[in-house]
Amino acid sequence: MKVFLMYSDRDFDSSAPGPWNEAELTADLELGVLWQAMAGEDEFLKQVARAALLAGCHDIEQLGYRQAVVRDCLQNPDVIRKLYDLALAAQEVRKGMYWGVSHYVGAILGSSIEALQKYAVLLRQLRDVADQSAGRFASEGLRRFFAMLQSDLSNAYFETIDAHLKALRFRHGVLISARLGQGNKGQDYTLHLPREAGHLLLTHLFQKKPAAYSYRLPPRDEMGARALSELHGQGVNLVANALAQSTEHILGFMNVLRTELAFFVACLNLHDRLQALGAPSVLPVVAPVAPAMRSFQGLYDICLALQTGRPVVGNDLQADGKNLVVITGANQGGKSTFLRSIGVSQLMLECGMFVPAQACAANLSTGLITHYKREEDTSMHSGKLDEELARMSQIVDHLQPGCLVLFNESFAATNEREGADIAWTITHALLSHGVRVFAVTHLYEYAARFYQEQRDDAIYLRAPRALDGSRTFRLEVASPLATSYGADLYQKIFGDEDIDLARRT
């Protein structure tokens, strides 16, 4: 039996290594906040959510397959949570059984019988859910899954399990045949189907002579009892191993089911959090890597909303055909928050999730990369600019056409002209190789040089400042400005008298 809810043709591996820049993505985009909202205190849910977000799905057909499952889950959360609880119960059965290393075949057989009985109950409940709920689902993944449960877990299947479990209890003894081998040692032990009690009675009444020689073991013959136990073990060894493998096969199926459902349960948890906040979400329209397409309404930073516990300001953008987005404007105007919303929504889109927006359509990428300025670090062995360039060199080694790069105040660790030259040269090189760039910058010369080129594939956003110095946190399409209104921050902190003194000095 195959689950195939995350992909149409393979299982999801939550233990696969993350991308090379996992640490940077996690820190720059504050992904820990998102995983916490998806998983709560459940470490397994967090592991699966993390793996799914960082791995993504870069096949547009497979992504559509997964999106359809997510849509079904959002419409039927009670069924999905019930399925997950059943998969989770299988883990509890496993914990409650004795699976230690044992030389006693009887112990292995007994544990396997008990486990299989409990697994059979869970499998029946899975089939019942399929019978009751299959008609409520439209996605290919869940319809195939329920059809598989109904087909493979038929009444005949459970009748066969019940019959085998009944037989394996050997209530009427064990019928074993063997032959003598070298040194009169037994070999070729074969376990035969047990005879029914009624058949044994008729045989006893009408049989003219015994079918075999018999020997009755004295009650206190310990050595004889041990030898008889060894004969019993030889006879049922293959059956015990086969039954243990069967239980492991069922547990393996339940493990995969738990892993794949964990992603969808984490999505449900996040969706519930957003609904409680009154924050919108939508399943995005996903386009291939090229040509460039990105438009959205009300896109917001989901991590900020989760941290503050209330809805936050969203932004609208129509940037189809644009490979470069340059963001300038007022300090504390929402530029970095907007950039983070781009990065997090891209990860959510690429793993088949809903995104934090009222409407959204965007390309897949071949990789998401962040290059944010870093604070001073005493562990640095060189200057901040050297450190930024070293990180950029590492990024270049992993770039390919279709990558999305997010710059946040990059190359500002030197003077305006040198920083602008470096940033402009690097950005030009990235664009010429099919890489898409979002850049938040205070380097006016950098932004102005691109603006003066009048590139058709570029768009310029500005964080506005009202006349009274307040910020709207909504970016607007506008040309770059040579100021970021740093004086506003100074005045807010130190007041009018101090700023006048600062101006005079």
pLDDT tens-digit map of 296-329: 999 999 999 999 999 999 999 999 999 999 999 8
Distances in Å between the Cα of 258 and the Cα atoms of 13, 171, 438, 446 are 12, 36, 38, 50
| Angle, helix 222-277 to helix 43-55, in steps of 10 degrees | 60
Supply the pLDDT for residue 196: 56
Give pairs for 119-124: CB < 8 Å, separation 24+.
119/90, 119/93, 119/247, 119/250, 119/251, 119/254, 120/158, 120/161, 120/162, 120/165, 122/86, 122/89, 122/90, 122/93, 122/254, 123/153, 123/158, 123/250, 124/153, 124/158
Q: What is the mean pLDDT of residues 393-414?
A: 94
Supply the pLDDT for residue 131: 96
Average pLDDT, the chain: 85
Comparing 176-185, 188-197, 287-296, 297-306, the range with the smallest average pLDDT is 188-197
Per-residue pLDDT of 139-148, as tens digits, reads: 999 999 999 9
Per-residue pLDDT of 279-293, as tens digits, reads: 999 999 999 999 999
Q: Which residues contact 162 (CB under 8 A, 6 or more apart)?
A: 120
Supply the pLDDT for residue 115: 80
What pLDDT band is residue 344 in, cutting at 50, 70 and 90? Answer: very high
User: How far is Cα 443 from Cα 260, in angstroms, rounded to an integer?
Assistant: 45
Task: Return the biggest CA–CA distance within the chain.
Answer: 125
User: How far is Cα 355 from Cα 370, in angstroms, rounded to an integer?
Assistant: 19
User: How far is Cα 195 from Cα 198, in angstroms, rounded to an integer?
Assistant: 8
Radius of gyration of the chain (CA): 33
Distances in Å between the Cα of 416 and the Cα atoms of 47, 122, 409, 430 are 43, 66, 12, 21
User: How far is Cα 474 from Cα 125, in angstroms, rounded to an integer?
Assistant: 51
Element (H, E) at 406: strand 404-408
Query: Where are the chain's structural domains?
Result: 57-169+250-276, 280-504
Whether residue 218 contacts residue 51, with contact meaning beta carbons closer than 8 Å, is answered with no
Site of tokens 């470069």? 324
Give 487's Cβ-side CA count (13 Å radius).
11
Supply the pLDDT for residue 197: 47
Record the tokens describing residue 157, joined without a space: 């299947």
User: How far is Cα 337 from Cα 278, in angstroms, rounded to an integer?
Assistant: 19
Supply the pLDDT for residue 162: 76
Sign of torsion, CA 37 42 47 49?
A: negative
Q: Flag whether pLDDT at 256 surpasses 90.
A: yes
Whether residue 423 contacts residue 411, with contact meaning beta carbons closer than 8 Å, is answered with yes
Q: What is the mean pLDDT of residues 393-403?
A: 95
Element (H, E) at 388: helix 384-396
CATH fourth-level superfamily of 280-504? P-loop containing nucleotide triphosphate hydrolases (3.40.50.300)
Identify the three-state secondary structure at position 11. coil
Q: Which residue has the higher pLDDT, 117 or 469?
A: 117
Record the tokens describing residue 451, joined without a space: 């603006």
CA angle 291, 294, 296 (to 5 degrees): 160
Q: What is the mean pLDDT of residues 80-99?
A: 84
Identify the three-state secondary structure at position 474. coil
Whether residue 296 contacts residue 317, with contact meaning beta carbons closer than 8 Å, is answered with yes
Percent pLDDT > 70 in the chain is: 77
Q: Provide the residue type at 308 as one letter.
A: T
What pLDDT band is residue 502 in, cutting at 50, 70 and 90? Answer: very low
E strands present in 353-394: 359-363, 368-372
Q: Which residues contact 354 (CB under 8 A, 6 or more apart)?
A: 70, 74, 267, 271, 281, 282, 283, 284, 348
In 3D, which of 463, 178, 145 has the Cα closest to residue 330? Answer: 463
Percent pLDDT > 90 in the chain is: 62
Q: What is the mean pLDDT of residues 74-101?
A: 84
Per-residue pLDDT of 15-46, as tens digits, reads: 999 999 999 999 999 999 999 999 999 999 99
Identify the three-state secondary structure at position 471. strand
Supply the pLDDT for residue 231: 57
